[in-house]
Chains A and B, each alone.
Chain A
Amino acid sequence: MRMSDQTRVNLSQALVVTGLILYIPSNVMPVMTMSIVGSVEPLTVMGGVRELYDSGLPLIAGVVFLASFVLPFAKLAALAWILFHHGSSNLRRERNKVFKIVHKIGSWSMIDIFLISVLAAVGQLGALASIRAEPGCIVFAIVLLCSLIAAEIYKPRLIWEDV
């Protein structure tokens, strides 16, 4: 089954808009809850970054901040800009360069999802330590999937086509 170019554009636009709408909830809702010896702490994506920073690990905090907070938004914003100009002859070379960068960035934002998976796996020590995923991780995953699938569906050749 081959997708028509118009379907590709429409689907990419829908995914990017969905991703942008869900971006704020994904950063406000807790993605996991850590219970350590009775103290329960819900963690958002930014909360996790702050915790790493406060623990004297600014480099790791920086990597997670970039991967989980900056990259998903940058990717969605870049795709939105490319799709906004779709069909026009303006800034084609620039759009092409940005698209190449978006593709190179790939899926480093998935760090947080994998992090939840590893933490949830080992954090099952009953009352001593328990780590649970929260609904925020689903919203966060949807944002990542939207940007990933939109970048795969929209083909760079479409940048050069007139509508």
Chain B
Amino acid sequence: MVDGKWINCPHCDAPCLEREPQPGHVLICGRCDSTVMVPLGKRTLQPPLALSITGLFLLLLANTEPILTFDVVGRYQSDYMITGVIELCRQGYFPIALLVCFAAIIAPAIYLSAVFYLTFATVFRVKLPGLLNVIRLGKVVSPWNLIPVYSIATVVSVVKLRMLGEVHWESGARFILGVAVMSILCHQVSDKEVALKRLEEMGLEIKP
């Protein structure tokens, strides 16, 4: 008879015996070699909270400031994030416009808001409604948060446009880069296990 609770590997679902790993050690799934548990210790969710707040502010600015200005023999046009979506709609490419709008504007906003909501609740120990649904939402939306890809596409578009005319970077480009960096860092430092553990400590019932 083995003592301890059986938990499932988050990657392949294999049952693993839960053992709190020692500092510096991790619990690895014997089947797929994925990390099942890391020592949580006193790890907090303050870094993702700070990153998500910064990311949300930068996303707001990225959507209100122009990204670049294209100038051909004195006639110029500025580009905002939403301008591309509107222009694609105008050209009759509504599905592409929707895809761009979702992946570059809506998904990053939902992802960062979900991280903010969850980390705010755990850091300040506030029992906010629907926390588990927010975790699920964040997990679903995370692969669609393509703001880092959008920032690279902006660089490539500038390279392409420079072949045709003059291009001037605007402040929105810096904010997009900022949101991309915040999103990547948020993804790296957000730990679902820490969040669930902290919610359990708050007395919230966590269903698998």
B149 adjacent to chain A (CB < 8 Å): yes
* C-alpha spacing A137/B76, complex, angstroms: 26
Contact across chains for B149 and A111 when beta carbons are under 8 A apart: yes
Q: In this complex, what residue of B is CB-closest to A140?
A: B96
- Partner of A125 from the list B33, B75, B144, B155 (CB cut-off 8 Å) is B75
* C-alpha spacing A124/B91, complex, angstroms: 11
Contact across chains for B152 and A111 when beta carbons are under 8 A apart: yes
* Complex interface: chain A residues within 8 A of B34 (CB): 100
| Residue among A122, A141, A157 with most chain B CB within 10 A | A122
* Complex interface: chain B residues within 8 A of A117 (CB): 84-85, 87-88, 96-97, 100, 104, 153
* C-alpha spacing A137/B98, complex, angstroms: 13
B78 adjacent to chain A (CB < 8 Å): yes
* Complex interface: chain B residues within 8 A of A156 (CB): 11-12, 32
B103 adjacent to chain A (CB < 8 Å): yes
- Partner of A57 from the list B12, B69, B159 (CB cut-off 8 Å) is B159
**Nearest Cβ on chain A to B88's Cβ, whole angstroms:** 6
> Would you give the 0/1 interface string for B67-102, flagging 1 where the beta carbon is closer than 8 Å to chain A?
111101101111110011111100101011101100
Segment of B48-56, B124-132, B161-169 in the binding face: B161-169
Contact across chains for A118 and B31 when beta carbons are under 8 A apart: no
- Given A113-B99, A122-B70, A129-B164, A160 and B12 contact (CB-CB distance below 8 Å): yes
Q: Is the interface of A mostly helix, strand, loop or mixed?
A: helix
B157 adjacent to chain A (CB < 8 Å): yes
Q: In this complex, what residue of A is CB-closest to B99?
A: A141
- Partner of B156 from the list A63, A93, A133 (CB cut-off 8 Å) is A63
- Partner of B73 from the list A48, A100, A114, A128 (CB cut-off 8 Å) is A128
| Residue among A36, A67, A120 with most chain B CB within 10 A | A120
- Partner of B91 from the list A113, A133, A148 (CB cut-off 8 Å) is A133
* Complex interface: chain A residues within 8 A of B85 (CB): 117
* C-alpha spacing A63/B95, complex, angstroms: 26
Contact across chains for A160 and B160 when beta carbons are under 8 A apart: no
Segment of A6-14, A22-30, A76-84, A102-110 in the binding face: A102-110
- Given A116-B96, A141-B99, A121 and B72 contact (CB-CB distance below 8 Å): no
Q: In this complex, what residue of A is CB-closest to B82?
A: A121
Give me 9 A-to-B residue pairs in the complex whose CB atoms sit less than 8 angstroms apart, sorted by A's number: A37-B72, A96-B11, A106-B143, A114-B84, A116-B96, A122-B79, A123-B70, A133-B93, A145-B99
Please report A residues at the B interface, Cβ cutoff 8 Å.
34, 36-37, 48, 51-52, 55, 57, 60, 63-64, 67, 93, 96, 100, 106-108, 110-126, 128-129, 132-133, 137-138, 141, 145, 148, 152, 155-157, 159-160
